[in-house]
Amino acid sequence: MLTPIQELESSLLHEQAVRVWVKRDDLTDPLISGNKWRKLRYNIEAICATEHRRALTFGGAFSNHIAAVAAAGHRYRFTTIGLIRGDRPKQLNPTLQLAADQGMELHFIDRQQYRNKEALLSHWQERAAPFFVIPEGGSNTLALRGAAEVIPELNRQMNPMPEIICLSAGTGGTAAGLLAALEGSSRVEVFPALKGDFLGEVIEQLVESYKGLKPRNWELITDYHFGGYAKFSPELIQFINAFKQAQGIELDPIYTGKLFFAVFDRIRKGIYPPGSRVLI
């Protein structure tokens, strides 16, 4: 699906002479939106081609991926099993409640057991196989194939391509797919929503396994995780609320809010020189 591109307007952008566009993948679907549709599209096709039509996946309590897989299962009529990191809460948060409402079978896994994915998967294969396994965050070869399709879309929609492409990351699949398909001189800036530099190596490994090449012209920027995954501050919430009022775009505090905050903060600091063209 070709999603629209929207240019942002603000006094800061005019003052710094920087142009910013947003690829509105949030308009793809009310339940399987953003990068989730791109990452799940070919996984859904693969699941529906199986005889058992069952999928098992992993995620944390605030995982958009879990909710998206559940919604896909409900819509395309395949069974979904979600292995959730941590203890079962007294009351499900909105993300997990949505997954449950869409028919996902939720199982809460002790954090120590969850870390050993190989043993965990082996246990569930004995207990509930057959099923199609979607990794945490959906970042597999099929996901990279879907994420890579954004580049030919951008080539059709923007001429010339922007100098800078910015995106958030949780497991790195979207960034890896984009980098695998990218040609030309655009630089990619990846902003993890969680602590740690480990995602750089993960993204490079994903690209190499998918394309057999090392990604180039990109940077992992780790200064905007706000304390870690699913953590945020009053400053971030204030930014998200102001952004919605000014631009009419709703951001979330886990991924997109941190991403847009980072880009605007870097513009404010003059990191992008006048005349820069930035796509988020």
For residue 60, is pLDDT > 90? yes
Greater model confidence, 34 or 218: 218
Residue 234: its H or E element: helix 234-247
Residue-level pLDDT at 184 = 85
- What's the rounded mean pLDDT across residues 144-161? 95
The region, left, alpha or beta by phi > 0 then psi within -120 to 50, assigned to residue 265 is: alpha
Residue 51 pLDDT class (50, 70, 90 cuts): very high
| Beta carbons of 201 and 172 less than 8 angstroms apart | no
Residue 52 pLDDT class (50, 70, 90 cuts): very high
Residue-level pLDDT at 223 = 94
Residue-level pLDDT at 96 = 97
In DSSP terms, 19 is beta-bridged to 277
Checking DSSP bridges between strand 132-134 and strand 164-169, what pairing results, if any? unpaired
- What's the rounded mean pLDDT across residues 190-194? 96
Q: What does the mean pLDDT of the chain come to? A: 96
- What's the rounded mean pLDDT across residues 147-168? 96
Query: What residues contact 225, with CB distance under 8 A and at least 6 apart?
Result: 192, 193, 194, 195, 231, 258
Domains and CATH numbers, the chain: 5-30+142-279 (3.40.50.1100), 53-130 (3.40.50.1100)
Checking DSSP bridges between strand 19-23 and strand 5-7, what pairing results, if any? antiparallel
For residue 142, is pLDDT > 90? yes
Give the pair of three-digit tokens for residue 31. Answer: 């339940």
For residue 196, is pLDDT > 80? no
DSSP letter (8 states) at residue 140 = S
| Beta carbons of 62 and 68 less than 8 angstroms apart | no
- What is the C-alpha separation between 267 and 18, in angstroms, rounded? 8
Checking DSSP bridges between strand 218-220 and strand 132-134, what pairing results, if any? unpaired
Which residues in 207-255 belong to E strands, given as ranges? 218-220
- What is the C-alpha separation between 82 and 69, in angstroms, rounded? 9
| Beta carbons of 71 and 32 less than 8 angstroms apart | yes
CB-based burial label for 242 (10 Å; 0-12, 13-18, 19+): exposed
Residue-level pLDDT at 1 = 74
